[in-house]
A and B are shown apart, each in its own frame.
Chain A
Amino acid sequence: MKRFEAGAAAPALDEIREVPTLCPYCGVGCALAYGVDRAGTIHYARGRDGASNAGRLCVKGRYGFDYTSHPQRLTRPLVRRDAAYPRGPLSAFSRPGASGPRKPGGIVDYAEVLPHFREASWAEALDRVAAGLAGVRDRHGADAVAGFGSAKGSNEEAYLFQKFIRAVIGTNNVDHCTRLCHASSVYALMEGIGSGAVTNVVRDVENAEVAVIAGCNPTANHPVAATFIKQAAAAGTKLLAVNVRRPGLADYAQQYCQIRPGTDVAFYNAVMHVLIDEGLHDRAFVAERTEGFEALRAVVARYSPEAVAGITGVPADEIAGFARTLGRARSAMFFWGMGISQHVFGTDNARCLIALALLTGNIGRPGTGLHPLRGQNNVQGASDAGLIPMYYPGYQKVADATVRARFEGLWGVPLSPEPGLTTAEITHAALEGRIRALYCMGENPFLSDPDVNRVRESLSSLEFLAVQDIFLTETAEFADVVLPASSFMEKRGSYTNTDRRVQLGRPVREPPGEAREDWRIIAALARRLGHDWDYADEAAIFDELVAAAPLYANLSHERLGDNGRWYPCPSPESDGERLLFTERFPIGRGRFVPAELGEAPDLPDAEYPLVLNTGRQLEHWHTGVMTRRSLALDALAPEARVEVHPDDAERLGIADGDWTRLTSRRGSVQVQAKVTDDVALGTLFLPMHFREAAANLLTSPELDPYGKIPEFKICAVRLERLATPHGEIAQHNDTSDTA
């Protein structure tokens, strides 16, 4: 007879403690706990009952935590050897023309790159960085120096980094990857309602009668937020999806409009045309809380659904149906993503959505609001903390003398009155010799900025480059000094999610080797440059941030506790404001800013007949530095695929899985094809995460005039079938990665 052995659970588990912290990936900001042993190895992630996730996680949060203990972590400072000059890419993969099958892991080849560096002490490395930055400043002026911070760092790190560039170096040339995702949305929001943050939290979608899902794909990019949207749809919320490429939520939507690339303004103007024409707009709201309606009416009058149908590819009656569903709803929320923002007319696209919300009176009540879905875990916080060239912490203008005087008092140094350059402008300026030194913390512009070939030249032309990161990134191949930094799991700090909720991340393990917490590195550099930066801990930095940015009033590390709080937070006891602008906007009345349909700079012709769209996929994260070093995520999605419509594939003689060459006016990559009708005829989609098929080799560096965001979504390309993948690169498959 069988017996049940009543022994206790596996003894190894007795050693595991659970540390309550956050997920390091997207802007949803899921609360979780890691099960960690004494050696600091994370065994599992368990969802906690956080305000934005209610215990839920997605594949990245659940399984993507092991990058932090990857054997390729940087553990000692590195200094470029004299023989490795002139500065250029150190691995074959980062040189011009490299594209094709990947090496295992698809990441920087350490065996190739490391010999060009030697290990150095922290004292030497910090001396070199301080001398490198200060030397350029002294010879060429402070505006020849620039800094890239990161939206993956904490609020404290973002605050210290921008303070370092502004107060220690003396320039406002400090920016971060928000510039590449929602800069245009923020510009349009500041202009339209006077605040760049979301007006309402994702989970309020359950109170919305309609939710517009515009140019975003939450099931891949904000998966846990998507579960709440799907749940709302199951309970009766009508989803109206508008996108060039079919989003996962289209399966749950009442209506999905597949518009042609770059025609968002025409589509939304036509929707507004119908709303006004049929009297479905909210006259009371427009009269009491907005200005500029007549100007909007005059512009959208020219965009009848009949006129726009041919432009957008959406039939006139479907546009009218969309407008009627929206116009008759008692409440509607507007979610949008990179499909709206990453264009040379991204600001105009966002203006349309803001105008649509104002026109229908859908701001300031439960189940209404504007929600640009933030990408990284601290995009909101990094912007709030001032990692922006034209704003001090709390969106206070650099160009405003009163504000500047206040910050000069707070920081005890004179500050530059000139707004600085943005990320893409910095790489452009380096090519022209206007930027000569760059301090790059936790970013990988080599792969994340448009037009990789140009970025390569730009990084090569710098006089001095310091990279502070947890791995050798493609960008670090150009560095003079590489500083080994801390991962999310190795530090304390606050992070502000897409819902404006400020939450505390806690350390679960020690940094490996001699790697250090980022804030300590920044402070040590400041001290070397003669500034008395003596912070006791992260909480003290946060307190200074709160003093600098009234936006974060009433918050402190202690008050954030296990579950965080929303900002604005009206009192020390409050959980913060879930819903904003119930009575008025920060600029008083909301402003209609009419937009006219613009034209993308890189349009198809006979030679480049297809339109390439770029974006993210569920299992991966940005330039893959983290996720491609996660065994689970790499196993689930090991390679890049370019999505091709079945009819295009047939015409070009391409079958699913075939190798293809994708060529734009700027470059060429080799990648396998995935045949799917998620993409529209004449369009392709390539995820941005894979260096061996780097989407940004192809994209155009043109910028939106307001948000200075690059055109990542429309790029004319040619697609050809390849008999075999590139011979030279294929040989690299034979050598195994060092790891």
Chain B
Amino acid sequence: MGDVTLTIDDRTVTVPAGTSVWEAAARLGIDIPVLCHDPRLRPVGVCRVCAVDTGERTLPASCVREVQEGMQVRTDTDEVQAHRRVLTELLLADQPPVSRREATTGHDQLYALARRLGVGTIPWPDGAEGHPRGEDWSSPVIAVDHQACILCDRCVRACDEIQHNDVITRSGKGYATRIAFDLDAPMGESSCVSCGECVAVCPTGALTHRALPAAAAGEGSQP
């Protein structure tokens, strides 16, 4: 495989063929926001927040799109920004009002993205009204808040491809789609070995550490 030369935001970069646009941009120090991707995981391009303008009819997800010779990429056009903003607003519309991640370990990537994009009022209906997707407190160490889940599958890939425990999958359809443990068992009764890799990769408050009583400040530690 040879090298490919392309232009990102008017800067030229040469990378090995097969590199993703997101990785090529990272090499230039250009930070393209992303929620479903983690450099340690196989990219799947489901959240679409990393979409960029390559001059095509639609905006491809940069985490999965491979570089092409002579490609002209723009990462910050008005159209790209509007696209990211709408996606972020839609994802936020049914999020819990407070991020459990920000109350435990910090680094809620969805909330951080909303701040970065200056999201204030959310002009979309809250799908959770009357249809909450539920919480799971059956594990002594990991809290599951399905309402905060954006179905990015990072936990699924981390469980399968990093720890190789193969516990997490999906169940349900439409808005009721949720991550599931084994055949939709409560997490504490599933084959989960509590390695916490899913919590480490989750970009939202969907999978978080349950604060240990000794460390709990009293807020957000228990249901």
Contact = CB atoms under 8 A, between A and B. Distances in A.
Interface stretch (A58-66, A157-165, A317-325, A606-614): A58-66
Nearest to B100: A10
A6 B123 contact: no
Given A6-B120, A230-B164, A57 B195 contact: yes
Interface in A602-622: 618-619
A44 B114 contact: no
A123 interface: no
Contacts of A433: none
Given A41-B215, A63-B196, A231-B164, A13 B102 contact: yes
Given A2-B93, A62-B194, A63-B141, A631 B123 contact: no
A654 to B, nearest CB: 23
A227 B40 CA distance: 14
Contact of A9 (B108, B121, B161, B212): B108
Given A9-B102, A9-B106, A42-B215, A58 B126 contact: no
Contacts of A10: 102-103, 106, 219-220
A406 interface: no
A413 interface: no
Interface in A63-88: 63, 66, 69-70
Contacts of B126: 2
A41 B214 CA distance: 8
A632 B99 CA distance: 23
Contact of A56 (B163, B217, B220): B163
A1 B122 contact: yes
Interface string A1-45: 111111001101100100000000000000000010000011110
B28 interface: no
A635 B193 contact: no
Contacts of B195: 56-59, 62, 223
Contact of A635 (B140, B211, B219): B140
B215 A636 contact: no
A1 B121 CA distance: 7
Interface residues of A, number: 42
A231 to B, nearest CB: 6
Chain B residues touching A, majority SS: loop
Given A9-B102, A230-B164, A66 B119 contact: no
Contacts of B140: 631-632, 635-636
A9 B205 CA distance: 12
A12 B114 CA distance: 21
Contacts of A55: 40, 200
A43 B215 contact: yes
B215 A4 contact: no
Interface in B40-94: 40, 92-93
Given A12-B217, A62-B194, A227-B162, A4 B122 contact: yes
Q: Which of B115, B193, B212 has the most CB of A within 10 A?
A: B212
Contacts of A464: none
Interface string A628-651: 000110011000000000000000
Interface in B196-223: 196-197, 200, 209, 211-215, 217, 219-220
B5 interface: no
Contact of B105 (A2, A35, A63): A35
A4 B120 contact: yes
Contacts of A231: 161-162, 164
Give the interface centre of A41, A42, A44 by most chain B CB atoms within 10 Å: A44
A227 B212 CA distance: 26
A63 B200 CA distance: 12
A268 interface: no
A43 B211 contact: yes
Contacts of B163: 56, 227, 230
A43 B104 contact: yes
Of B92, B119, B194, most A-chain CB atoms within 10 Å: B194
B98 to A, nearest CB: 8
A148 interface: no
A471 B104 CA distance: 29
Contacts of B162: 56, 227, 231
A46 B200 contact: yes
Given A9-B108, A63-B209, A56 B102 contact: no
B119 to A, nearest CB: 5
B8 to A, nearest CB: 26
Interface string B106-133: 1010010011001111110010000000
A58 B165 CA distance: 11
Contacts of A56: 162-163, 195, 197
Interface in B127-165: 140-141, 161-164
Contacts of A3: 120-122
B185 to A, nearest CB: 16
B212 A632 contact: yes
Contacts of B102: 9-10, 13
Contact of A252 (B92, B97, B164, B193): B164
Nearest to B139: A636
A47 interface: yes
A57 B197 CA distance: 7
A105 to B, nearest CB: 14
A46 B107 CA distance: 12
Contacts of A5: 97
Interface string A508-522: 000000000000000
A142 B103 CA distance: 57
Contacts of B197: 56-57
Contact of A4 (B114, B193, B194): B114
Contacts of B106: 9-10, 13, 16
A9 B220 CA distance: 13
Contacts of A57: 195-197, 200
Nearest to B116: A6
Nearest to B209: A44
Contacts of A111: none
B193 A618 contact: yes
A540 interface: no
Interface in A221-265: 223, 227, 230-231, 234, 252
Given A41-B215, A44-B104, 17 more contacts: A2-B122, A4-B114, A5-B97, A10-B106, A35-B105, A54-B40, A55-B200, A57-B196, A62-B196, A63-B194, A63-B209, A66-B212, A70-B214, A619-B194, A632-B140, A635-B141, A636-B194
21 contacts: A2-B93, A3-B121, A4-B120, A43-B105, A44-B209, A46-B105, A46-B200, A55-B40, A55-B200, A56-B162, A56-B163, A59-B141, A59-B193, A62-B195, A69-B214, A223-B195, A227-B162, A227-B163, A227-B164, A632-B140, A632-B194
Q: Which 3 residue pairs are nearest across A and B when measured between Cβ atoms?
A: A230-B164, A635-B140, A62-B196
Interface of A: 1-6, 9-10, 12-13, 16, 35, 41-44, 46-47, 54-59, 62-63, 66, 69-70, 219, 223, 227, 230-231, 234, 252, 618-619, 631-632, 635-636
Interface of B: 40, 92-93, 97, 99, 102-106, 108, 111, 114-115, 118-123, 126, 140-141, 161-164, 193-197, 200, 209, 211-215, 217, 219-220
